[in-house]
Structure 1
Amino acid sequence: MGGISVRNLDDDLLARLKRRAARHGRSAEAEVRTILRHALSGESERSFDDLSAARAGAERRPGTHASGNTAAGDP
């Protein structure tokens, strides 16, 4: 399994995380894993082909970037 480090967390955010972990009887690290698992469980994985097609379509539309966002200054 992989691991990550999250730096530069606000003191308030870290304190809230630790309190939440304590309420759930978990370590802060276990609480972060639970939060991430829950936050990402509803997202569907798009295939590379789907992402590539979406990017190609965005590049063909004037005023959009490959990310699908409109050009700077556009609403």
Structure 2
Amino acid sequence: MTDILIRNIDDDDLRHIDALAAELGISRSELLRRETKDLARRHALQQVTLDDIRRSVDLAQGVLDEDLMKQAWG
């Protein structure tokens, strides 16, 4: 794993981070590692691909067909 150094963190922000880490019973490093991982995954999930759009189109076929919707929902 790679180490990172973050400069110029606001003292109040760091106190809040440390307090949250203490509340969770983990170190500051562990809290920041978890939050960084979560941030990276959220960003990755926001990437919509052409395949995502194609799947959506396939799933939405018939959604405007009134007869099909009546059959589906009674």
Query: Would you call these one fold, judging by a TM-score over 0.5?
Result: yes
Structure 1 outlier segments of 4+, above 6 Å: none
- How many residue pairs get aligned? The number is 46
Q: Which has the larger radius of gyration?
A: 2
Q: TM-score, normalised by structure 1?
A: 0.55
Deviation for aligned residue 1:6: 0.8
Q: Give yes or no for the alignment of 1:12 onto 2:12.
A: yes
Aligned Cα RMSD in Å?
1.6
Answer 1 or 2: which has greater helix percent.
2
Look up the equivalent residue of 1:39 and give its one-letter code: L
SS of residue matched to 1:44: helix
Q: Which residue identity is paired with 2:4?
A: I
DSSP-derived class of the 2:9 partner:
coil
Gaps of 5+ in 2: 48-74
Shift of 1:9: 0.5
Q: Which runs of 5+ in 1 are unaligned?
A: 47-75
Q: Report percent identity of matched pairs.
A: 28
